[in-house]
Amino acid sequence: MARALGFDFGTTNTVLAMADGPDTRSVAFNSATGTSDSMRTALSFMKDPALGAAALKVEAGHAAIRQFIDNPGDCRFLQSIKTFAASALFQGTLIYAKRHRFEDLMEIFVRRLRAYAEDGWPTEVSRIVTGRPVHFAGANPDPALATERYNAALSRIGFPEIHYVYEPVAAAFYFAQHLKKDATVLVADFGGGTTDYSLIRFETHAGKLTATPMGHSGVGIAGDHFDFRMIDNIVSPAIGKGSFFRSFDKLLEMPTSYYANFGRWNQLSIFKTSREYADLKTLVRSSLEPEKLETFIELVEHDEGYPLYQAVSATKMALSADEEAEFNFPPLGKAGRTRVRRADFEKWIADDLARIEGALDDVLTTTRTSPDAIDKVFLTGGTSFVPAVRRIFTERFGQERIETGGELLSIAHGLALIGEREDIAQWTA
């Protein structure tokens, strides 16, 4: 039986992998939607009379999405919960009048994964190795708080040994298994909430892979921020951004904070229960364009965060291949269908790209490493397919040194392999 379990708890997707010696395999999850080796990091809660008056039917991943879609208005849907891990401001969210803290949500999510894994869940694991970003997402993130919350959740599950490894280090270790010779490797891991870099020197001595970590850097910007830019430029103006409301004898612009919340599609369910959302609803009567605010409220009330994510993702994917693509978000009506040019999208994300490149500069500068000294560049994560992101690396390092692959699995499998090593302390964050 495997003794190490790699746990890639991602903003968008979660993967578990087990190690047995040099081999790894993903844990398979069997839910109402079928079998998969990755799970969307999402939860849904719904009252079910068959379970009792106070009981809730809880689903995770793809099954959570299905439960939410099949029961609009009756289901509480949460996604990308990892984005709250390091936030001291997040003290929990109410789900059917009961407050759930971050560690409660994480525990519920992992327990659902265990249930879906059935007999495939490892029963004799001595250690779990959990990935963590170099820098957590959010404003003023507190990594110690995130670790404390992770520990609380995972301890409740009963794991005897909990270790943490930087996500790009795990991806680098996975990639290094296929190296033919000693190499200095730069890993760029583009998640939903963070972009992380690790620079590692891999060498083989007496048939054993050794590694010397050279440096790490990261920034709390990745795919979700690109989503935000698209929403902010296409959808938010149609629901009142830039419009005005009357306050006594003054005309005031709608607070931008409402649209900052809306642009974070993964947080709409929590925004729905906030005081700020309650304040927004009071402004309809004084708005000069009340129909736009009414549409805004409708989108929140009907929990359109996931359909919005689907629309944005489809457009981003299309723009990775074409210079122009359609954005189609039916809940917005006519305003929700438009053409988007790649050139415009790249303008919207220009500041984000600059910060992503700035984090790359940081790891090269602090390690005093020139681009010529890097043998391989391993790009992982869905955002690495965005042409403007890829250009950062092709212009610096040349296409011939860039490798991709294992976008969903590399971190979890790298974590599992590290978990098998006696020198695990060398790899932990």
pLDDT at position 288 is 94
Angle 426-8-128 (CA atoms, 0-180°, nearest 5)? 55
* Residues contacting residue 151 through CB under 8 Å, at least 6 positions apart: 162
User: Tell me: the pLDDT tens digits for 313-324?
Assistant: 999 999 999 999
List the chain residues with pLDDT less than 70.
Answer: 1-2, 51-54
| Residue 159 confidence (pLDDT) | 85
**Cβ partners under 8 Å of residue 423, min gap 6:** none
CA 215 to chain centre: 23
Number of other CB atoms surrounding residue 158 within 10 Å: 8
- Report the candidate in 27, 97, 85, 31 with the shortest Cα–Cα distance to residue 58: 31
In this structure, the strands spanning 376-380 and 402-404 are parallel
**Given the structure tokens 């302390």, which residue do they identify?**
425
Q: Can you give the length of the chain in residues?
A: 429
Domain boundaries, the chain: 4-164, 236-328
The pTM of the full predicted model, rounded to 2 decimals, is 0.83
Q: Which amino acid makes up residue 140?
A: N
Backbone φ, ψ for residue 27 (5° rounding): -75, 130
Q: How many CB atoms lie within 10 A of CB 423?
A: 10
Q: For the chain, report the end-to-end CA distance as a whole number of angstroms.
A: 26
> Taking Cα atoms as reference points, which of 138, 172, 17 lies closest to residue 146?
138
Residue 117 has a pLDDT of 93
Q: Supply the angle between the helices 223-234 and 256-263 in degrees, to the nearest 10.
A: 130
Cα dist from 254 to 34, 257, 258, whole Å: 44, 9, 8
| Yes or no: domain 4-164 corresponds to CATH 3.90.1150.10 | no
Q: What is the 3-state secondary structure (H, E, C) of the chain?
A: CCCEEEEEECCCEEEEEEEECCEEEECCEEECCEEECCEECEEEEEECHHHCCCCEEEEEHHHHHHHHHHCCCCEEEEECHHHHCCCCCCCCEEECCEEECHHHHHHHHHHHHHHHHHHHCCCCCCEEEEEECCCCCCCCCCHHHHHHHHHHHHHHHCCCCEEEEEHHHHHHHHHHCCCCCCEEEEEEEECCCCEEEEEEEEEEECCEEEEEEEEEEEECCCHHHHHHHHHHHHCHHHHCCCCEEEECCEEEECCHHHHHHHHCHHHHHHHCCCHHHHHHHHCCCCECCHHHHHHHHHHHHCCCHHHHHHHHHHHHHHHHHCCEEEEECHHHHHHHEEEEEHHHHHHHCHHHHHHHHHHHHHHHHHCCCCHHHCCEEEEECHHHHCHHHHHHHHHHHCHHHEEECCCCCHHHHHHHHHHCCCCHHHCCC
